[in-house]
Amino acid sequence: MQHPDIAEILISLRNADLQLREQLIRKGVLSDGYNDEMKQLHDANAAKLDSIIDRIGYPTPDKVGKEGGDAAWLIIQHAIGQPAFMKKCLKLLEKAVGENK
């Protein structure tokens, strides 16, 4: 793994997302539409991941480990308010897959 520090950041962002989701489930409000707090977290996580991508490229397992790569994928999937970011990531992911990364 080339960037263990970035892997830790990605895992932390993923954990914050999942923790907030769990809190909203416990409150019984997760299915009441797109929660403002969740949207803010998703947007912030997407911005942080976008910055990481600008520095190291798509966070493949060889760069950030399997868990870090999985965390990045979750962040991308949850960035529903950022379609341009999602499209950017799709292109990068397709390239990484084509290179067997």
Parent domain of 81? 4-98
pTM, 2 dp = 0.91
What is the per-residue pLDDT for 98? 84
Output the tens digit of pLDDT for each of the chain's 101 residues. 999 999 999 999 999 999 999 999 999 988 888 889 999 999 999 999 999 999 999 999 999 999 999 999 999 999 999 999 999 999 999 998 888 77
Domain total of the chain: 1
CA Rg, the chain, in Å?
14
What is the per-residue pLDDT for 34? 87
Query: Dihedrals φ, ψ of 30, to 5°?
Result: -60, -35
Q: Residue 52 is which amino acid?
A: I
How many CB atoms lie under 10 A from the CB of residue 15?
Answer: 11
